Structure 1
Amino acid sequence: MRELNASPLSSEPLGDQVLQIPLSDRWRIYHRLQELKINSSCPPDGSLRVQVNNLLEVILIRSTVMQSLASRQELLEWLERCWHYNDEK
């Protein structure tokens, strides 16, 4: 998967991004992005293309892909990091 990088202060659209998603997960992710009103497409080359317009969309795309592709252990570790981050504030 290609990482979506953006400065937290940037409001510039990132434009079209190509995500390398396993074919077995591509349609599920595509449909979830459609539900989130994120412009995306599945061209014949097997990629998943998304139009990224702002940082909220970057977060939603990352979250959607992570939920589909990460292992249970990776998701648990991510959740624990979030909880620890909130405890530090």
Structure 2
Amino acid sequence: MVLELSLTGSDRWEMYHRLQDLDIPCSCQAHRPLQVHCRSTLDAIQCWSIARQLTQPRLVLAQVLDACLDLQTQSSK
């Protein structure tokens, strides 16, 4: 599956490099959407996670992390 992601220039290049680090095939040309070749569900989830980290405000990411930690604490009781 090929995903086309329209991100700002700096976010697009940051995501491109992170995907390269994870060995997920992708291509990034100037002024074009980032193309990601997802070979598996894991590739798609990692792509989604990186995009979310780059596009969501830090406060939202911190709130999600707090909620996950609360769930983990509740389940260990």
Aligned length: 75
How big is the shift at 1:28? 1.1
- Mark the CA change 1:35 to 1:20 in structure 2 (over 3 Å): closer, same or farther: same
What residue number does 1:85 align with? 71
What is the alpha-carbon distance in structure 1 between the residues aligned to residue 67 and residue 44 of structure 2? 19
Match of 1:50, SS state, is strand
- Taking structure 1 as the reference length, what is the TM-score of the superposition? 0.72
List alignment gaps of at least 5 residues for structure 1.
1-14
Match of 2:29, SS state, is coil
How big is the shift at 1:54? 1.3
- 2:21 equivalent to 1:35: yes
Higher helix share: 2
What is the alpha-carbon distance in structure 2 between the residues aligned to residue 55 and residue 88 of structure 1? 29
- Mark the CA change 1:58 to 1:85 in structure 2 (over 3 Å): closer, same or farther: farther
- Taking structure 2 as the reference length, what is the TM-score of the superposition? 0.81
How big is the shift at 1:67? 1.7
How big is the shift at 1:47? 0.5
- 2:59 equivalent to 1:76: no
- Structure number with larger C-alpha Rg: 2
What is the alpha-carbon distance in structure 2 between the residues aligned to residue 56 and residue 84 of structure 1? 25
